[in-house]
């Protein structure tokens, strides 16, 4: 039988490696020794590694806020593709997950809408529907229905994991 990555602890190793890389990116970005385009890349890579590991590694509010600031700075320096915006949205959602503060979640939803990132918008909307303070059942059902429609109308994700996320989000919203 083939063992899964989880059984081999390869997944844990990958998360730990990304967390270690964050320290290197943070050092590089704050060293004062990089050229502007290198600073942009270091800031973005730091923030992306935070976004990618935030589901498996517990970060403080300050760490997540720094990652948001760094990704915003990276975007302002020219790293402004759709993926960069998506990671910024992911970080704002992670900040909500860590703090329970709805402001970054609502900001994530607005940003996703502005950038036409429907799958990200659907994710934020689903979390809004599930987050306290609870709305009425009818209002929540409307939020979930809207999240499903957003996810369905999103461009077909290129990667398997993104397609799986879209399908899972649709299932979760339908079951909520």
pLDDT of residue 134: 66
For the cut 80, the answer to whether the pLDDT of residue 132 exceeds it is: no
pLDDT of residue 145: 83
Q: What is the pLDDT of residues 49-105, one digit of tens each?
A: 999 899 888 899 999 999 999 999 999 999 999 999 999 999 999 999 999 999 999
The answer to whether 106 and 128 have CB atoms below 8 angstroms apart is yes
Q: What is the DSSP string of 53-105?
A: HTTTS---HHHHHHHHHHHHHHHHTT--SHHHHHHHHHHHHHHHHHH--HHHH
pLDDT of residue 146: 84
Distance CA 111, CA 154 (A): 15
pLDDT of residue 4: 44
For the cut 80, the answer to whether the pLDDT of residue 158 exceeds it is: no
Q: Give mean pLDDT, residues 136-161.
A: 77
The answer to whether 124 and 93 have CB atoms below 8 angstroms apart is yes
Between 102 and 3, whose confidence is greater? 102
pLDDT of residue 44: 94
């Amino acid at each position: 039988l083939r063992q899964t990555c989880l059984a081999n602890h390869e997944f844990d190793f990958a998360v730990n490696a990304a967390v270690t890389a964050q320290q290197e990116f943070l050092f590089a970005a704050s060293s004062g020794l990089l050229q502007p385009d290198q600073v942009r890349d270091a800031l973005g890579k730091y923030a992306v590694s935070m976004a990618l590991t935030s589901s498996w590694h517990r970060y403080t509010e300050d760490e997540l806020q720094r990652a948001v600031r760094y990704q915003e700075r990276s975007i302002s320096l020219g790293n402004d593709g759709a993926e960069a915006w998506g990671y910024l949205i992911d970080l704002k959602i992670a900040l909500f997950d860590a703090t329970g503060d709805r402001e970054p979640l609502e900001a994530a939803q607005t940003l996703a809408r502005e950038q036409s990132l429907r799958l990200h918008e659907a994710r934020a909307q689903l979390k809004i529907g599930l987050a306290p303070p609870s709305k009425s059942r009818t209002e929540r059902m409307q939020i979930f229905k809207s999240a499903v429609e957003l996810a369905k109308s999103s461009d077909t994700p290129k990667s398997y994991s993104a397609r799986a996320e879209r399908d899972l989000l649709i299932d979760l919203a339908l079951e909520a």
